[in-house]
Amino acid sequence: SLTLGIVGLPNVGKSTLFNALTHNDVLAANYPFATIEPNVGVVDLPDPRLSRLAEIFSSERILPATVSFVDIAGIVKGASKGEGMGNKFLTNIRESDAICQVVRVFEDDDVIHVDGRVDPMSDIDVIATELILADMETVEKAIPRLEKDSRKNKELVAQLEEAKKALAVLEDGRTLFKAQDEIDRTLLRELHLMTAKPFLYVFNSDEAVLGSQEKQDELRAAVAPADCVFLDANVEAELLELEEDEAMELLESIGQEEPGLKALARAGFNTLGLQTYLTAGPKEARAWTINKGDTAPKAAGVIHTDFEKGFIKAEIVSFADLDEAGTMAAAKSAGKVRMEGKDYVMADGDVVEFRFNV
């Protein structure tokens, strides 16, 4: 499954956040036979639609989709040159599908900042620069090879041109993700460039930032097109120790409607380019993870490979229509249930039953 790699400078709250992410029973409860890697945090993707489906179908249990975060230790200035834990760090990032940087915005004189002051955009630059330098090295090595090979293989000409464009972007000090409108990242896929991956920023905030829409808007605009989440890692850790009503009280006291981990799960899921569809029956109401743009047979294949091979059609009702109708029978008689074929592209909130040959 796809993962987000958590990175950040020392002392920004990575461990605190990661502990909060791993302090949950998702894996243990839903996948008792799965091996739990110590550096992987798996969280539920919150989806209030599932409890409504469970109500409609009298489902015994609810199985939400999950999002996986991998703790990547060891960024230091000079990582791109393999200093310190540099090489291992870069390998771990290459294996992640998106990069989630924890950035300190909270003020606290008791917590030392590596650069002596709290400056989120500068912290973002430090990490981006290491990744940009490492990508530059990769592209600089690839260009002569592509030049040679493209003389024989004309299909590589486009890749060569894209690599040259990418090098210019990197030399300009920008990530390929940020320059996504200027270059075709799919042509660069084989180079496994780190800055081409989607970025997500977690601004580890204090009450002052959580209470300031203006400050948040400013940071949000600065990191676009990357998404970002504002939370207080210490509060998130604390929330997990509390009973539900006490937790709600704490959240209210800092002006928040829900735990930041929920917003982080949603943003992480979106950043990975993922989407869900829903199934429901007496046994379970469940969300299944697919890529945005997947067709119905592809979506069926997530349940079982045989479902994809033997796909005939999908019976689909949108959650909104089913919710309004109240029962599947009512939705059917209202003409809200459609039969879709193999070219159908799944939409968010589709409630599905697949028909297939075995």
What residue numbers does the annotated binding site cover? 11-16
- Examine residue 350 and tell whether it contacts ligand GDP (CB under 6 A): no
Instruction: Please select the residue that binds ligand GDP; options are 69, 89, 106, 269, rule is CB under 6 A.
Output: 106
| 120-152 helix and 213-223 helix, angle to the nearest 10 degrees | 20
Sign of CA dihedral 88, 94, 99, 105: positive
- Binding-site residues for ATP, in ranges, read 11-16
Q: How far apart are CA 139 and CA 326, in angstroms?
A: 56
Tokens 């930032």 found at: 209
Least spacing, CB of residue 16 vs ligand GDP, in Å: 3
- Examine residue 11 and tell whether it contacts ligand GDP (CB under 6 A): yes
- How many Cβ atoms from other residues are within 10 Å of residue 34's Cβ? 11
Q: How far apart are CA 224 and CA 97, in angstroms?
A: 18
Q: How far apart are CA 43 and CA 26, in angstroms?
A: 7
- Examine residue 216 and tell whether it contacts ligand GDP (CB under 6 A): no
Residue among 75 and 352 whose Cβ is closer to ligand GDP: 75
Name the residue whose CB lies closest to ligand GDP.
13
Residue among 104 and 165 whose Cβ is closer to ligand GDP: 104
Site string for ligand GDP, 121-150 (x = CB under 6 A): ------------------------------
- Examine residue 327 and tell whether it contacts ligand GDP (CB under 6 A): no
Least spacing, CB of residue 210 vs ligand GDP, in Å: 10
Residues 223-262 interacting with ligand GDP (rule: CB under 6 A): 232-234
Terminal alpha carbon distance of the chain: 26
Query: How many residues bind ligand GDP, per CB under 6 A?
Result: 16
Least spacing, CB of residue 231 vs ligand GDP, in Å: 8
Residue among 201 and 319 whose Cβ is closer to ligand GDP: 201
- Examine residue 74 and tell whether it contacts ligand GDP (CB under 6 A): no
276 contact partners, CB below 8 Å, separation of at least 6: 45, 47, 65, 287, 288, 289, 290, 348
- Examine residue 27 and tell whether it contacts ligand GDP (CB under 6 A): no
- Examine residue 111 and tell whether it contacts ligand GDP (CB under 6 A): yes
**Residues 71, 184, 87: CA angle, nearest 5 degrees:** 30
Burial class, 268, CB count within 10 angstroms (exposed 0-12 / middle 13-18 / buried 19+): buried
- Examine residue 15 and tell whether it contacts ligand GDP (CB under 6 A): yes
Q: How far apart are CA 289 and CA 42, in angstroms?
A: 14
Binding site for ligand GDP (CB under 6 A): 8, 10-16, 106, 108, 111, 204, 206, 232-234
